[in-house]
Chain A
Amino acid sequence: NAGVMQNPRHLVRRRGQEARLRCSPMKGHSHVYWYRQLPEEGLKFMVYLQKENIIDESGMPKERFSAEFPKEGPSILRIQQVVRGDSAAYFCASSPQVGDQPQHFGDGTRLSIL
Chain B
Amino acid sequence: TQLLEQSPQFLSIQEGENLTVYCNSSSVFSSLQWYRQEPGEGPVLLVTVVTGGEVKKLKRLTFQFGDARKDSSLHITAAQPGDTGLYLCADITTPHGTNAGKSTFGDGTTLTVKP
Contact = CB atoms under 8 A, between A and B. Distances in A.
Interface of A: 1, 4, 31, 33, 35, 40-45, 48, 55-56, 59, 91, 93, 95-108
Interface residues of B, number: 29
A48 B92 CA distance: 12
Contact of A1 (B9, B41, B92, B105): B41
B107 A105 contact: no
Contacts of B108: 40-42
B64 to A, nearest CB: 19
A110 B28 CA distance: 33
Contacts of B98: 55
B88 interface: yes
B33 A102 contact: yes
A45 B4 CA distance: 13
Interface of B: 4, 6, 9, 31, 33, 40-45, 48, 88, 90, 92, 94-95, 98-108, 110
B102 A42 contact: no
Contact of B100 (A41, A44, A96, A105): A96
A55 B95 contact: yes
B105 A44 contact: yes
B50 to A, nearest CB: 10
A100 B31 contact: yes
A67 B22 CA distance: 34
Contacts of A1: 41-42, 44
